[in-house]
A and B are shown apart, each in its own frame.
Chain A
Amino acid sequence: MIIAERKPMEEIEESVAEYKKVLVAGCGTCVTVCWAGGEKEVGILASQLRLARGAAGNEIVTLETTVERQCEKEMVTEIKDKVAEADAVLSLACGSGVQTMAELFDDKPVLPAVNTTFIGMPEREGLWVEMCGACGDCFLDRTGGVCPMVRCAKGLLNGPCGGTRKGGMCEIDPDKDCAWVLVHRRLEKQGRLDLMREYVTPKNFRAVRRPGKVQAAKA
């Protein structure tokens, strides 16, 4: 899923400083699961904004809503009346959700309240880790299901750099595993270490031409 983190309060306050009535819009999918932009976070952010603006003698009216998926136009259309009521929308969805809203309500400023960080998974409660770089050219079959493109700090494709720390941790962050040590362990366990010995050619960055577009295959 997509992982995001809420922006610092000062940055959010500044982005809505000139607006009197703001719709705080959450998303019920990925950002709900990663505690960044679901219904609960919408409520918290709205009251924090009211408190801050009230204390500064510059009252703000907040409207609150949470759409099941902000990245789908049909679902976002449902909140058009609330959007119409507000001076601006503060979206707690990922960048894709913010842009869907901005495109649908193009006469209204739609402002991001979270930073979208990566595609990942929850490692334990309250901790999410990056797993996929959406490179368009998946080679997890060769690496024991560990993606060195994003899990290696340098995105190396043919093995670890010379900086692996004692015990197999990353050179630049002793709290993170060296992806290539993980690849090695996994393939060793499966008796497939020969895969790691195969040369991996330079990545084809043409696999996804920005902006990406995928057409469903015809049945």
Chain B
Amino acid sequence: MSTPFREILKKEGFVVTTEVGPEKGSSVSKAIEHIELLKDKVHGLNVTDNQSSVMRYPSLGICLLIKEHGGEPVLQVTCRDRNRMAIQADLLFAHSRGVRNVLCLTGDSVDVGDHKEAKQVFDLDSVQLIHLVHTLNSARDIAGNELSGGTDFCVGTAASPSSDPIEPQLIKVEKKIKAGVDFIQTQAVYELDEIKRFTDFVRNMDEKVRILAGIVPIIGVKMAAYMNENVPGIVIPQRIIDELAEAPKGTGVAKGIEMSARMIRQLKEERVCDGVHIMFIGREERVPEILEAAGLV
């Protein structure tokens, strides 16, 4: 059995998490493969919630599978698809089945996904969602009613340290910290300075909040250009693009892994932040290579 994530966060060590992306369909075979491959190599496995607004197998379902397989799940919850009643009910269910970590997210707009005509909910925002989890933790629902058994969730959220302008983002982060978070996973970052500034900002407010830098390996010049162009809040520096351009054909993935591992080593050695959250979407089976190259296993 894995150690509860909350206990891991309390320790001094470098925290490592990664993701399991649910499939689009009722099959869970790939997810099980990834769970088996990764569960003992990281401290927590995030499960995305209809990621990028694409309808898929639910986050909660994969979290239960992770529990069954002896791993430590982090349930991602977005505000896009469920109102406050549905979110609370799902969280009660998750808790009753042993899920103890929730990552509170706004969620992408339906405009970027595969159900563009759907009604997006956003009954709550991510700050309100954090408050909601704490309310359930105190054995009440957010309408003020008493519960026959509350929850005991460890609460996380996300932030975008590369946003431009950054000030409105930081005010939101401030509100999230005030609402009470145990950890913050950042959007993919590529500059040490940026994550350093962000960590300092958070520690100034509350030094108990653990910061996990978001790591997304860049595996080609085209991917870098696409992300710079289309993914708000991510800035891939020219030096990374240059290094990729120099890599021999067919070695992009290996190069991406190498560069991510290098960054993780620096983050750890220079104590820039408390850990990393690795997102290698569609290539989960290669996450162990990053961990090995970074000296984390």
Contacts and interface: CB of A to CB of B under 8 A. Distances in A.
B122 A156 contact: yes
Contacts of A165: 232
B27 to A, nearest CB: 30
A105 B169 CA distance: 53
A157 B124 CA distance: 8
A189 interface: no
Contact of B127 (A155, A158, A162, A180): A158
Contacts of A200: 127-128
A203 interface: yes
Contacts of B112: 172
A61 interface: no
A202 B124 contact: yes
B233 A162 contact: yes
Interface string B161-181: 001110111011011001100
Contact of A181 (B125, B160, B168, B174): B168
B125 A158 contact: yes
Interface in A151-204: 153-168, 171-172, 178, 180-181, 183-184, 188, 193, 196-197, 199-203
Contact of A197 (B107, B108, B123, B174): B174
B124 to A, nearest CB: 5
Interface residues of A, number: 33
B168 A180 contact: yes
B109 A162 contact: no
Contacts of A159: 125, 127, 168-169, 171-172, 175
Contacts of B267: none
Contact of B233 (A155, A163, A184, A201): A163
Nearest to A165: B232
B95 interface: no
B106 interface: yes
B169 A199 contact: no
A4 B218 CA distance: 45
A189 B165 CA distance: 15
A197 B171 contact: yes
B167 A184 contact: yes
A195 to B, nearest CB: 10
Given A171-B232, A172-B112, A202-B123, A160 B128 contact: no
A181 B167 CA distance: 9
A200 B112 CA distance: 27
B159 interface: yes
B111 interface: yes
Interface string B120-135: 1011111110010000
Interface of B: 79-80, 84, 106-109, 111-112, 120, 122-128, 131, 142, 158-160, 163-165, 167-169, 171-172, 174-175, 178-179, 187, 232-233
Given A158-B125, A164-B163, A168-B164, 4 more contacts: A163-B233, A164-B168, A164-B232, A180-B172
30 contacts: A154-B80, A154-B106, A156-B125, A158-B127, A158-B172, A159-B125, A159-B171, A159-B172, A160-B172, A162-B163, A162-B169, A163-B109, A164-B169, A167-B164, A168-B165, A172-B109, A172-B111, A172-B112, A178-B168, A180-B168, A181-B165, A188-B167, A193-B171, A196-B168, A197-B175, A200-B128, A202-B84, A202-B124, A202-B142, A203-B123
| 3 A-B pairs with the lowest CB-CB distances in the bound complex, closest first | A159-B172, A162-B160, A158-B127
